[in-house]
Amino acid sequence: MSPSDREEGGRPEWMRRQERSNLAILRLMVWISLSFGRGVGRVVLRGIAAYFVLFAPAARRASRDYLHRVLGRWAGWRDGYRHVLSFASTIHDRIYLLNDRFDLFDITVHGGDELIASAQRQPGALLVGAHLGSFEVLRAMGRGQAGLKVAMMMYEQNARKINATLEAINPKATQDIISLGQMESMLEARDRLDQGYLVGMLADRSLGDDATQEVLFLGEPASFPLGPWRMAAMLRRPVFLMAGLYLGGNRYELHFVPLADFSTVERGAREAAIRDAVQRYADTLAALCRQAPYNWFNFFDFWQKK
């Protein structure tokens, strides 16, 4: 695949990748899971994961490429299956998290004290994440705990079938979503921050026409978008990396790692601060990937090999 193929129409591969989800299957999974419980739902989930490992060759190759880097060894079929099953598990668990069934999960938090201290100094903070683990753990906990308000800036089109299905489970699912790609997106984010919200966005995928910065990630140069960081600099807010790592079974870990505080950065020093923050983001993301290697859910040619 040539670079021009990947960026056909200005859209990167992950945006052009045909959705493999089927609305009927999703609704069936929701019905099984809510009717018979998480245990029965996970049995069905294993069959679905096996199907995608067998019949999604492009995603399988991308998974193997990533796993080879993060594990430091050859990644076989069992590793690929575990990778897909981890992804499917986080999607499945959204069914329960959206229904405030926190009693089903063992969730621990790391770095929460620093985030709270930041919020006490200045209302609102930006949470920069990745397609790593489950962001829904954070959003669901935010809805369930007084004083913790979370909004998410996201590109919704690529997962519209899943979002439509889960919204039918609980209408609250999309009430705190700020759509990316609109003129008023940053103004809405600013208003939420002023109201004390934690505003999250994912910073490991480009929308196609974004400016990017090449940094080392898992031992090889990779391009990360600059848009989230320029927005953080303009909004003059502290930035934390967020990740909800899935550890198997019913266990999750929420991580908050401070990356930058643009409230103290002068205009002339912003670009240098942004460059430093992107590299810290990539370094911290790599460390979390090594900690929970089957949590990285970018099933495409992330490093864009020729």
Block residue for tokens 């700020």? 178
Q: What is the pTM of this model?
A: 0.86
pLDDT of residue 19: 46
CB neighbour list of residue 1: distance below 8 Å, 6 or more residues apart: 13, 301
Would the pLDDT of 1 be above 50? no
Most confident of 21-30, 266-275, 297-306: 266-275
- DSSP symbols for 222-236: EEEESHHHHHHHHHT
- Nearest CA among 55, 83, 130, 82 for reference residue 287: 130
Task: Tell me the average pLDDT across 152-162.
Answer: 64
Pick 182 or 146 by higher pLDDT: 182
Q: 142 falls in which pLDDT band (50, 70, 90)?
A: low
294: enclosing H helix or E strand: none
Pick 116 or 8 by higher pLDDT: 116
Most confident of 53-62, 68-77, 102-111, 204-213: 68-77
pLDDT of residue 167: 66
